[in-house]
Chain A
Amino acid sequence: MKKRKYPKDEIITFKSANEMPPLAVSLGSMRWNKTGSWRYIRPIYENKTPPCDEACPAGEDVEGVQYLCEQGKFEDAWKLILEEHPFPGVQGRVCYHPCEEACNRGHYDEAISIHAVERFVGDYGLNHGLIPPRLSQERGHKKSEKIAIIGAGPAGLVCAYHLARMGYTPLVLEAHPVPGGILRVGIPSYRLPKDILEAEIEHIIKMGVDIQTDSRVDRDLLLKDLKDFNAIYVATGAHESRNLNVPGEDASGVMSGLQFLIDLNLGKKIAIGKKVAVIGGGNTAMDTARSVLRLGSEVVVVYRRSRAEMPAIPAEVEEAEHEGIPIHFLATPIRVITDQERVVQMECVKMELGEPDESGRRRPVPVEGSNFIMDVETVFTAIGESPQLSFLTEDIQTEWGSIVVSDHGETSKKGIFAGGDAVDQPRTVAHAIGSGKVAAIAIDTFLRGKDTAKIAASVQIGQKGSVSMERYLRGEIRYNASKVVRFEDINLAYFEHKDRVDLPRADIEKAKQSFVEVNSGLPESAVTTESGRCFNCGVCNMCENCWVFCPDISISRKTDAFGYDIDYDHCKGCGICVEECPREAMSLEEEQK
């Protein structure tokens, strides 16, 4: 066998037939032949946004977490979540996980158990005493501006967390005796154990955030004490229960469901009757009903619409029913009947669904003559909460009981920002976290004199308003964030059907007798298996398909980093790499000529 003796990248021109081999054989290289000039479409190697990432209001790199968990890199997964917010343990328990709804795998067999994986990662971080990732000295150097955050709920704490990472020393003022907001005083501990929440808040405090509890902010304090603050973030939540507006509502046995939960969570003694009705279909109603059950009373939920319209997380409704709580759909109280100022009965009317209202849900209409009476001793109202905003000055615009803010959390008053349940946005922890991040970016850009709108736009994930703090703080433009991968973009030939791993079902009889956490988490092996089901939509995981399939050897592995390079001098644009990429990390673009 002859050894090569010709230079690699030069055209070999023989002077005579005698010098030539008898056949077309590569004595040199064909690289001189720039076949890339034949191309009219080009493959683009570029990560895109997975639908789970776009759907996450908290802006988590959901796919990235699955990628790391599949390899058992739980510490890295924890740190990846901590780039976005400090609450994986909390969110792994209370999030309504819209990511799973968006998961492309759901169109194939079942969505990834993202929620359960997050809980595992959160617990892993706490159990292993992990420390949140630090920023570089350059990015996180100490800054002198004074920032006040009103409200130590998820929005306020997430905002404080990120500002502290950036080098600020925010002051957080909390009205309750403990930080955590609705997470601490609203959500019962069987859903979110207090130690998990406290441990994650501890991370924030350790970063230098000063949380002053029992510090309710009134207008006086706002105008005087916070006068010389460079920025204020209002994240006071929505704690005012709406009234039923029915006769007898003022009786002592009619109470706010949320107030009941707050008292319960702060360890206060609450007297309730043996027969309890909870009015409403949201998470507060479910939490109230299940807490009442645990206190040993009989409880029924009364909701004026049908199951489909319930605003509560479906899993919470399911668990309430599983615990044996009856839900009376399509009924509403019209009168609370008292005897010697004690509630004894409640008169209700049956409803039917009419035309859709402004919320898009079908409006409940009373059915004439369908009145019925229920025996009750305590009635909890949980038909919605509104923010308490009387402390705000008039120059901060409000509308329909919420603070009016821009897309970046700016109120009508310069230097004042707002978020969480106090503004008009879905009342979820995930949205509160998202708004805390948006505000942290807006406050930082405001204080540093940068173009907030432009910068905020550059850190968007997909089209639904989620932002990437990792991108904002670390400046990594890793992908085409605006392109969200669809199910049709996935090459299913590379994925086998596999059952989803769900959280193990708790022993209900035991669970409903105490406030101990109902659900246990997934074991480690289940987490790696479950994360392994992830399509990794739009994000290259170096499966090597493009490299293996390229007929022109025009794709090579990067020598110094993760990923591939495309040799456009020789790529003919056949598109095989795009077709064979299981996850749309390769896409085609028309050649601009």
Chain B
Amino acid sequence: MKKVITGNYAVSYGAMVSRSQVIAAYPITPQTQIVELLSEFCADGLLDAKFIKVESEHSAMASCIGASATGARAFTATSAHGLALMHELLHWAALGRLPIVLANVNRAMGPGWSIWTDQNDSLSQRDTGWLQFYCESNQEILDTIIQGFKISEQILLPTMLVLDAFFLSHTSEPVDIPDIEVVDTYLPKYNATYRLSTENPYAFGGLTGPDHYFEIRYKMQETMDQAIEIARQADEEFERIFGRSHGLIERYYSDDAELILVVSGSIASTTRDVVDQLRSEGRNVGMLKVRMFRPFPRQEFRNAVRRAKKVAVIDRNICVGFGGIFYQEITSTMYGHRDDLPIFGFIAGLGGRDVTPNVIHEIVTHAETHDTPDTEIIWIGVKR
């Protein structure tokens, strides 16, 4: 069934058709509508889930952890400061190997108080052990929730999907909401290997000495490595059933491009248009959309830029003291592989400032007119 819905509602529908069993969430702009609609689903009996009202995001994630430990499918959504408040428990969920799915609406961290989008909130959680997917459209949002549970429940690591505040969260698009019975065929009931139960009781998260902690981390990384292939398979299977896929890194006119723009989130839609226009002008420009950020599909990325002459990374975030975070990832991914490839790091659109086609044009022109970057950070649109 197709519906014209916002990104937030796409999240709610995604959680519903995935048959989430426990939802614990605390409202925060711009995520609130997600929780509202889910609570209505629960109240109206459209979703057979326990909806837990909590007093903070910390408790929301704690509740999800408890629920997931019993073997229930647990879902939550948050944004910015809410996600930051969850930080401790994000580690807990990952190290506890709990396949929770979380939707984070990208919102700039305050102060100055902002409700508009940028990626620093979710990227600050990069090292917690969660899978991260950055979504371009409302359809992708819904699909990624279903895929998120599918992947997480196989590898026992939690998934965070990310959508831009307002550009996606509050913007309506046509979205195909799959029949729940069809989703059932893709996403079977979660069967936890280790779970809280009275018949065969286990304690979780107990003291783990130096004899074993190291190996727990090792196994986590091992799983993350496998997660790339599992996510790819999940996407392929999704395509077979639902007729669409999103890829881990989407290539758009990139195979023969001299200049490849590397983007994520809703900027990809704008970039897509600009690439179309540039191609019609005969300019050899392509795009890579990084959808899967954690684990980072390094080999896939290297393959995608094999023939490129230049790479321009657009970051709607900044690791203060270093530069764009995607830029970091990509330079580090390429180190020792294509030392001849100039990688430009652009910072744009922080705190929800529009990244318009003109901004993309400016970035392309800059990259085209420079053989190598003058600086590690290239600021676009900053009022200096």
Contact = CB atoms under 8 A, between A and B. Distances in A.
B206 interface: yes
Interface string A2-18: 11100000000110110
Interface in B200-252: 200, 202-208, 211-212, 215-216, 218-220, 222-223
Given A1-B195, A2-B193, A30-B207, A24 B216 contact: yes
B224 to A, nearest CB: 12
A397 interface: no
B97 interface: yes
B379 to A, nearest CB: 43
A31 to B, nearest CB: 11
A22 B222 CA distance: 10
A1 B197 contact: yes
Contact of B216 (A1, A2, A4, A20): A20
Contacts of B222: 17
Interface residues of A, number: 18
Interface centre among A4, A25, A27 (most CB of B within 10 A): A25
Contacts of A24: 95-96, 204-206, 208, 212, 216
B308 to A, nearest CB: 38
Nearest to A19: B215
Contacts of B208: 24
Contact of A17 (B95, B200, B202, B219): B219
A13 B211 contact: yes
Interface centre among A4, A20, A23, A33 (most CB of B within 10 A): A23
Contacts of A21: 193-194
Q: How large is the interface on B (under 10, 10 to 19, 20 to 34, 35 or more residues)?
A: 20 to 34
Nearest to A23: B97
Contact of B156 (A2, A14, A23, A27): A23
B325 to A, nearest CB: 28
A14 B215 contact: yes
Contact of A20 (B199, B200, B203, B212): B212
Contacts of A26: 202-204, 206
A16 B97 CA distance: 19
Interface string A244-271: 0000000000000000000000000000
Interface in A13-50: 13-14, 16-17, 20-27, 30, 33
Contacts of A33: 207
Contacts of A14: 211-212, 215
Interface string B54-72: 0000000000000000000
29 contacts: A1-B193, A1-B194, A1-B195, A1-B197, A1-B200, A2-B194, A2-B200, A3-B200, A13-B211, A13-B212, A17-B215, A17-B219, A20-B212, A20-B216, A22-B97, A22-B219, A22-B223, A23-B96, A23-B97, A23-B156, A23-B194, A23-B204, A23-B216, A24-B95, A24-B96, A25-B202, A25-B204, A26-B203, A26-B204
Interface of B: 95-97, 156, 193-195, 197, 199-200, 202-208, 211-212, 215-216, 218-220, 222-223
Given A1-B193, A23-B216, 16 more contacts: A1-B194, A3-B200, A14-B212, A14-B215, A17-B219, A17-B222, A20-B216, A21-B194, A22-B97, A22-B216, A22-B219, A22-B220, A23-B205, A24-B96, A26-B202, A26-B206
